[in-house]
Structure formats: structure tokens, C-alpha cells
């Protein structure tokens, strides 16, 4: 007779294998500008059986569009949901004016309109700006997206990856990226799903924030005008005294 614990484990393996199919794939690519604005391309692939629980293509698209409309910090957006065989591909492109404002928005109630798995994929983000030093960290928990993934056989997770790419305006001073390109300005975290479900995925970097030319102009123009006004008043005062 098979022990109860082993029976339960076998049952979970059968259910998870049937439901999750070939699991998830993720690719996120973010371009960050010197003034804090930027854009992001997010692509996720998941089993059609999982997507069906949320209304399939149309249901997922509606949920994402509703989330985008509820987040004013996102200035532009596109969403495409397609089905290829037994996989659903979700592609989202967004633009934003302030990465810090968007981070604060996502830490609020914005994600509540999406399935709970979305918050685990978004993770917990910390971005502290001290002077001109930006310290960024993000903790993602794919294991919570796939509950019971530890029971899945290795071949079911093989070949699936989570990839996070960050394009920075300047080279990072320090990071835990698995690969660095573009003279330190492009950080890449590329992990097999089998590794990512075992422990939270942590992405972090530190960089010096460059002063954007728009900010320099915003400060310099009023300063020049004020200086010019003072000089004119000073010259008029001198002229009046000399006469």
C-alpha cells in the first residue's frame, strides 16, 4: 500500500503537470533615461490552460488594459495577447515619465485588478535616491506563481527561463547581474526557471544619477534671468548715483 503522504504527492504531480503544462517564460526589458523617464517591453508566456481560468485571450487583455487605465503614471501603453498552440503569449509595452513615481504606484492598489500571480511577478521594488546615488533592488518570487513547483519533474521546467534586462543611462557602479554589456550600461539577469522557483530572484544595482540637461536648463534659465535683472538694477543704480 502506498503511504498517504506519497499518494498526496503523486496526486499533486499529476494535477500540476496537467494544469501548468510547460510552465512560464518571462522577458522584461526596461530602458531608463537620465531624467527618470523610460519605457518597458514585457513578454510572458504561459500555458493556455492557466490563461483559460482568466477568460483566455480576451479576459487577460481586458484585465491588463483595465490595469493600465488605472495607472496614470503610465503615459503610453500597448497590449497584445495571442495563442500559439498550447501557449498564450502576453506582450505589454509601456512608457513612463518617472520611474520612482511608477514604483510608488505599483506598491499601492494598482495591481489589485490583476490576478494574484501578477504581484509575485512584479515583486517588491526598493529604489532609494541618496544625493545622486540610486540604489535599486527588486525581489521576485516565481515560486509563488507556480505553487507546488517543487513537485514538478525536472523535464517540465527544463528550457524555460526568466530574463530581466535593464538599460541604464550610465554604467552601474555595482550590480549582481549575471551578464553586463554596453560598457556596464546594460544589466542582464538570465535565470533558468528551475532555479528561480526555489528561492526569490533578487536583482539589484547601484549607479550615479546623471544630471539631465532639461533640469540644468530649468535651473540655469531662471538663474540667468535673475542675475541679468540684478545687474540691470545695479547698473541703473550706479548711473543714477554718477549723475
pLDDT tens for the chain, 243 residues: list them: 444 444 334 333 333 333 344 478 899 999 999 888 899 999 998 888 777 777 888 888 888 888 888 888 889 999 999 998 888 899 999 998 888 777 766 665 555 656 666 677 778 888 888 888 889 999 988 877 665 555 555 566 778 899 999 999 999 999 999 999 999 999 999 999 888 888 889 999 999 988 654 444 444 444 444 444 444 444 455 555 555
Q: Which of 43, 39, 137 is nearest to 81 (CA)?
A: 43
In a shared domain, residues 164 and 143: yes
Residue 82 sits in the same domain as residue 162:
yes
Same domain? For 169 and 237 the reply is no
CA distances from 147 to 7, 50, 74, 111 (A): 18, 13, 30, 20
Range of the domain at 217: 213-243
- Are 8 and 120 in the same domain? yes
**What is the SS3 assignment for 180?**
strand
227 and 179 part of one domain? no
180 and 145 in one domain? Answer: yes
Please count the structural domains in the chain.
2
Let me know whether 43 and 85 are in one domain: yes
Q: Are residues 76 and 102 in the same domain?
A: yes
194 and 231 inside one domain: no
Same domain, 136 and 197: yes
Q: Are residues 102 and 156 in the same domain?
A: yes
* Measured CA angle at 141 (ends 109, 93), to 5 deg: 60
Q: Are residues 89 and 145 in the same domain?
A: yes
Non-local (6+) Cβ contacts of 106 within 8 A are 71, 122, 125
Amino acid at each position: 500500500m502506498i503511504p498517504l503522504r506519497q499518494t498526496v504527492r503523486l496526486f499533486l504531480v499529476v494535477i500540476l503537470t496537467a494544469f501548468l503544462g510547460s510552465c512560464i517564460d518571462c522577458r522584461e526589458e526596461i530602458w531608463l533615461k537620465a531624467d527618470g523617464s523610460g519605457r518597458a517591453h514585457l513578454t510572458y508566456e504561459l500555458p493556455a490552460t492557466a490563461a483559460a481560468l482568466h477568460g483566455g485571450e480576451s479576459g487577460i487583455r481586458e484585465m491588463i488594459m483595465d490595469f493600465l487605465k488605472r495607472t496614470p503614471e503610465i503615459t503610453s501603453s500597448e497590449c497584445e495577447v495571442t495563442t500559439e498552440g498550447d501557449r498564450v503569449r502576453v506582450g505589454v509595452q509601456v512608457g513612463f515619465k518617472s520611474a520612482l513615481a511608477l514604483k510608488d504606484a505599483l506598491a499601492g492598489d494598482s495591481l489589485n485588478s490583476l490576478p494574484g500571480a501578477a504581484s509575485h511577478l512584479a515583486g517588491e521594488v526598493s529604489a532609494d535616491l541618496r544625493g545622486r546615488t540610486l540604489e535599486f533592488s527588486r525581489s521576485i518570487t516565481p515560486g509563488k506563481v507556480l505553487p507546488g513547483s517543487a513537485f514538478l519533474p525536472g523535464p517540465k521546467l527544463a528550457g524555460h527561463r526568466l530574463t530581466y534586462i535593464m538599460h541604464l543611462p550610465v554604467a552601474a557602479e555595482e550590480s549582481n547581474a549575471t551578464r553586463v554589456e554596453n560598457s556596464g550600461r546594460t544589466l542582464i539577469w538570465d535565470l533558468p526557471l528551475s532555479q528561480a522557483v526555489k528561492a526569490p530572484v533578487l536583482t539589484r544595482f547601484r549607479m550615479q544619477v546623471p544630471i539631465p540637461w532639461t533640469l540644468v536648463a530649468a535651473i540655469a534659465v531662471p538663474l540667468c534671468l535673475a542675475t541679468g535683472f540684478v545687474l540691470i538694477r545695479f547698473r541703473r543704480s550706479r548711473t543714477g548715483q554718477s549723475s
